[in-house]
Amino acid sequence: NAGVTQTPKFQVLKTGQSMTLQCAQDMNHNSMYWYRQDPGMGLRLIYYSASEGTTDKGEVPNGYNVSRLNKREFSLRLESAAPSQTSVYFCASTSLDRNYGYTFGSGTRLTVV
Amino acid sequence: DAKTTQPPSMDCAEGRAANLPCNHSTISGNEYVYWYRQIHSQGPQYIIHGLKNNETNEMASLIITEDRKSSTLILPHATLRDTAVYYCIVNNAGNMLTFGGGTRLMVKP
């Protein structure tokens, strides 16, 4: 039981490049989330998917797109990376009743130069 | 969702109880109190949550005041590995978690 798996763990991009951050969970959770965390700050919600087939914007969606590929997988895409998107990205998932809280992945550390 | 207020930092001696306070004076009747922690730069870890009653699990205890306007997370015997940022979040079970600044707990030998 791996929980929430994020790939890659580290990435360096040049300004303007694109990339997709992958997230997969094996807990049969309905809801999945993407957060970003800038140095010394709390987490901010980018996008979420309450259930398979739905996605919604969070607090800071600009510059990102998401795809809920199936119940297990939720990807985050940066179409044209900017230095302001340098951050640590966390994926999380939870069941509908949330009795066990959110489970977070270990993060993707992205640097845009 | 209701906002929370936590002290930015606290110290605790190893082996002693760590009591982390949280004020949530605007909490509504259907909002839960959740606690998470983030050790160094790892992903946040769920600790405990409650609605009205006090709760205890293998990690911690959660004490919620009768008026539900504040709560305290208790780590009964803090260890060096409990050094982390602790987040108190109040939230309706159907909504997304919103993280504030949290309390940076430093457990000292």
Of the partner residues B43, B100, B101, the one whose CB lies closest to the CB of residue A104: B43
Whether residue B30 has pLDDT greater than 70: yes
Judge whether A96 and A30 are in contact, CB under 8 Å.
Answer: yes
Burial of B75 (0-12, 13-18, 19+ CB in 10 A): buried
d(CA A24, CA A105): 9
Judge whether B92 and B1 are in contact, CB under 8 Å.
Answer: yes
d(CA B2, CA B89): 8
Chain A contact present for B86, CB below 8 A = no
- Select the more confidently predicted residue: B40 or B2: B40
Task: Enumerate residues 2 to 61 of chain B having a beta carbon within 8 A of any beta carbon in chain A.
Answer: 34, 36, 41-47, 49
Supply the pLDDT for residue B93.
60
Cα separations in angstroms, A26 against A44, A66, A89: 24, 19, 19
| Contacts B45 to A, Cβ<8 Å | 104
Cα separations in angstroms, A50 against A5, A63, A108, B43, B88: 18, 21, 22, 20, 22
Burial of A104 (0-12, 13-18, 19+ CB in 10 A): buried
Sheet-wide strand order for B70-75: B18-23, B70-75, B61-64, B55-56
d(CA B54, CA A53): 37
Of the partner residues A42, A90, A100, the one whose CB lies closest to the CB of residue B43: A90
d(CA A94, CA B93): 11
Of the partner residues A42, A88, A98, the one whose CB lies closest to the CB of residue B99: A42
d(CA B36, CA B17): 17
Long-range contacts of A47-55 (CB under 8 A, 24+ apart): A47/A76, A48/B96, A49/A74
Burial of B57 (0-12, 13-18, 19+ CB in 10 A): exposed
| Contacts A44 to B, Cβ<8 Å | 99
Whether residue B80 has pLDDT greater than 70: yes
B2 confidence band (pLDDT: 50, 70, 90): low
Q: What are phi and psi of B40, to 5 degrees?
A: 50, -120
What value does the mean pLDDT take over residues A49-66? Answer: 94
Whether residue B1 has pLDDT greater than 70: no
- Taking only the tens place, the pLDDT of each residue in A16-43 is 999 999 999 999 999 999 999 998 888 9
Q: Give the containing element (helix H, strand E) for B56.
A: strand B55-56
B33 confidence band (pLDDT: 50, 70, 90): very high
